[in-house]
Amino acid sequence: MERLENKTAVITGAATGIGQATALVFAREGAKVICADINEAEMKKTVEKIKENGGQAEAAYLDVSSEDSVVDFAEKIKESYGTIDILFNNAGVDQQGGKVHEYPVELFDKIIAVDLRGTFLASKYLIPLMLDNGGSIINTSSMSGRAADLDRSGYNAAKGGITNFTRAMAIDYARDGIRVNSLSPGTIETPLIDTLVGGKDEDMGEKFREANKWITPMGRLGRPEEMATVALFLASDDSSYVTGEDITADGGIMAYTWPGKMLIEDEKWKKGTE
């Protein structure tokens, strides 16, 4: 039996990366998937892939940082579906901004608006569609919400906020049959990485990927499909007694205190990477 049979799922940030991979997995498991994003061209490709594989999906424009856009989206979903069973708050942006005293205010505001406020807005206006029947909400946080990165304080603040916001939501709606958990990916091979540091064939992009493979105990970057299967677990009844949790999927990075011996025994460690 398909694990999401007869379920309706909303996925924000569904055009590429983790959102796209999750949309494909959810549809494969029987869900009707509403793919929401501001990137309409890529989002339509996601929907086409789902339909080619025999799944059910539709595309919908959504700017999660805009309350008007979210309200309009929620009203259309209510009109078309009445209720939803799964909400995957996955839309997000990231960009280096420098140390705090150099960090552009407009960049900080943008990241907070999309990542943290967007998670709040989508939840606020779509949760009413889940109150009658319960369901599952998954928020995309990050290992960067549990520890910090150089020059990315805005992203760290947003993702740290999402992790604790998830716990607050879990308490608020546990008696309504709505489970709320967050997924914290490590470094995943997505278009966002290309935007942040460059593609695989670019010098900085190659150096970034090699450095991450070196410090990641599993010796490689994650794949979007691997995050999608964690989201599937959280969306399905397989996790029926799990709420208020943050599931980290980072290849082991958060498991150690510092990469001292890995740096000292560099050749041995490097040979273990893919």
Per-residue pLDDT of the chain (274 residues; tens, 9 = 90+): 699 999 999 999 999 999 999 999 999 999 999 999 999 999 999 999 999 999 999 999 999 999 999 999 999 999 999 999 999 999 999 998 999 999 999 999 999 999 999 999 999 999 999 999 999 999 999 999 999 999 999 999 999 999 999 999 999 999 999 999 999 999 999 888 887 788 888 888 888 888 888 889 999 999 999 999 999 999 999 999 999 999 999 999 999 988 777 777 666 666 666 5
Query: Which segments of the chain does DSSP mark as H helices, in order?
Result: 17-28, 40-52, 67-81, 105-111, 118-126, 153-173, 191-197, 203-215, 224-235, 260-264, 266-270
Question: Angle 175-181-185 (CA atoms, 0-180°, nearest 5)?
Answer: 180
Tokens of 212: 């991450």
CATH homologous superfamily of domain 8-192+223-258?
A: NAD(P)-binding Rossmann-like Domain (3.40.50.720)
Q: Helix or strand or coil: residue 34?
A: strand
Tokens of 28: 């494969």
> Is 8 in contact with 32 (CB distance < 8 Å)?
yes
* 18 burial level (CB within 10 Å; 0-12, 13-18, 19+): buried
Residue 13 backbone class (left: φ over 0; alpha: ψ -120 to 50; beta: rest): left
The helix, strand and coil proportions of the chain, stated in percent and rounded to the nearest 5, come to: 50, 15, 35
> Is 31 in contact with 7 (CB distance < 8 Å)?
yes
* Residue 123 CA to its chain's centroid (Å): 14
Count of helix runs (H) and strand runs (E) in the chain:
11, 7
Q: How far apart are the C-alpha atoms of 192 and 206, rounded to whole Å?
A: 14
Q: Give residue 1's pLDDT.
A: 60
Could you tell me the pTM of the whole model? 0.94
Residue 82 backbone class (left: φ over 0; alpha: ψ -120 to 50; beta: rest): left
Give the active site residues. 155
Tokens of 42: 């890529």
